[in-house]
Chain A
Amino acid sequence: MTLSVAMTVNGKAVSGKVEARTLLVQFLRENLGMTGTHVGCDTSQCGACVVDVDGKSVKSCTMLAVQAEGTKVTTIEGLAPSADKLHPMQEAFRDNHALQCGFCTPGMVMSAIDMVKRNNYQLDEATVRRELEGNLCRCTGYHNIVKAILAAAPAMKSAGV
């Protein structure tokens, strides 16, 4: 079944033809060519595909593209305010060396931003570790990711994002 779908991705109106079975992550990567959102496990466990849909973090490998009709989607490509400036969370990941291979990083960053906002910019280490339960990293042992998120929370607050 071919359907038309329209949504806003990173502030731009986009549309396209998809099958009913097309996943949101496929639409982003294959229709829009936005390959920043990754497919890791494809079984809703690893969180590499996390994007923001209408203010809620979701696993885009476990949502149909047609379910995103009319929504506002933010992906990793939509975070940096300009070509030479990163989002405070991206900056914190760089400063704290919170990645090795980098495959999980887009999902980690998206989940981390959602976590900071949901907890009103106030996080402690135990909360960060617990709330990262939906994102898997096979390189870092999480330690630097946790450090980065703790560093980014006040930076996001002062940047007003």
Chain B
Amino acid sequence: MYDFAYHRPKTLADAVATLKGKDEARPMSGGMTLIPTLKQRLAKPSDVVDLGGIKELAGIKADASSVTIGAMTKHYDVSVSPDVKKTIPALAELAGHIGDPAVRNRGTIGGSVANSDPAADYPAAVVALNATITTNTGKHAADGFFKGLFETALKDGELITSITFPKPEKAAYMKFPNPASRYAMVGVFVAKTKDGVRVAVTGAGSAVFRVKAMEDALAKNFTSAAIKDIKIPSKDLNSDIHGSAEYRAHLVGVMARRAVDAANK
């Protein structure tokens, strides 16, 4: 790891001010991706701004129609939150299957969403539930936020402060985890709301994406049978030592059907 200047601001305002004007500075939330990246010398930030000391960024608030989760809230805290379990149980379930227990004790929702790892779990929930991402400068809709591999709509110096998930009528997330890393080989989040159905896929492409054909079919008939004949094109899907693009395309169908069945339980 290359060395860097370390900062631990106590407020969001301090964090924003510390990052300002430093082109090579990086914010760090849980560090579950950034620290391994630094260890491999894949990044060489001049400054690391640790957001771990900012109390205002952590916490969960729920009302009858939504759950708002502070950016620095740990995966473990989301997974056991009575508010999340009651309002959107699929989201608590998703959080409880990220990485492993030690990773869930450090990793945060804001970090996961800002990172846009192609195999991360949270982006699928953000897109399928049509969440709103709030930052220090404004708000982002879920559609259009995840632009590509490790790329989001966030501007330099823009930090996620919280994410608001509207309560769906039904929802479920199913993933086929890589047995070593627990990252999603393919994960599918299905959500049914009064506005329709959204199907979001992670792990298969360069970033999370929706499957319109499945959404249309499920809007008419919310059963796994309704999507059993929908084939996902393997073109542009990820292909690596863990699985070919064709294998992942097949898994999207399997995980989507399992998710619909789980949502209907």
Contact = CB atoms under 8 A, between A and B. Distances in A.
Interface of A: 1, 3, 19-21, 23, 42-45, 47, 50, 56-59, 62-64, 66-67, 69, 111, 114-115, 118, 131, 133-135
Contact of A63 (B3, B38, B106): B106
A56 B100 CA distance: 13
A23 B182 CA distance: 23
A64 B4 CA distance: 12
Give the contact-size bracket for chain B: 20 to 34
Contact of B32 (A19, A62, A131): A62
A114 B102 CA distance: 9
Given A62-B32, A63-B31, A67-B31, A20 B105 contact: no
B261 interface: no
B243 interface: no
Interface string B1-12: 111111010000
A19 B100 contact: no
A133 B100 contact: yes
Given A1-B3, A62-B31, A111-B102, 4 more contacts: A45-B181, A56-B105, A58-B106, A63-B31
A134 B50 contact: no
B102 A134 contact: yes
Of the listed residues B32, B99, B103, the one surrounded by the most CB atoms of chain A closer than 10 A to its CB is: B103
Contacts of A44: 32, 35-36, 103
Nearest to A66: B6
B64 interface: no
B84 to A, nearest CB: 17
B149 to A, nearest CB: 20
A5 to B, nearest CB: 10
Nearest to B76: A56
A128 to B, nearest CB: 12
Q: Is the interface of A mostly helix, strand, loop or mixed?
A: mixed
A56 B6 CA distance: 23
A21 to B, nearest CB: 4
A134 B6 contact: no
B101 A57 contact: yes
Contacts of A57: 101-102, 105
B5 A1 contact: yes
B13 interface: no
B180 interface: yes
Of A44, A47, A66, A134, most buried by chain B (CB within 10 Å of CB) is A44
A105 B106 CA distance: 22
Contact of B6 (A58, A64, A133): A64
B105 A21 contact: no
Contacts of A66: 6, 8, 50
B52 A118 contact: no
Contact of B1 (A21, A118, A133): A21
A10 to B, nearest CB: 19
Contacts of A115: 101
B54 to A, nearest CB: 13
B69 interface: no
8 closest Cβ pairs, A-B complex: A134-B100, A20-B6, A56-B105, A21-B1, A133-B100, A59-B102, A21-B3, A62-B35
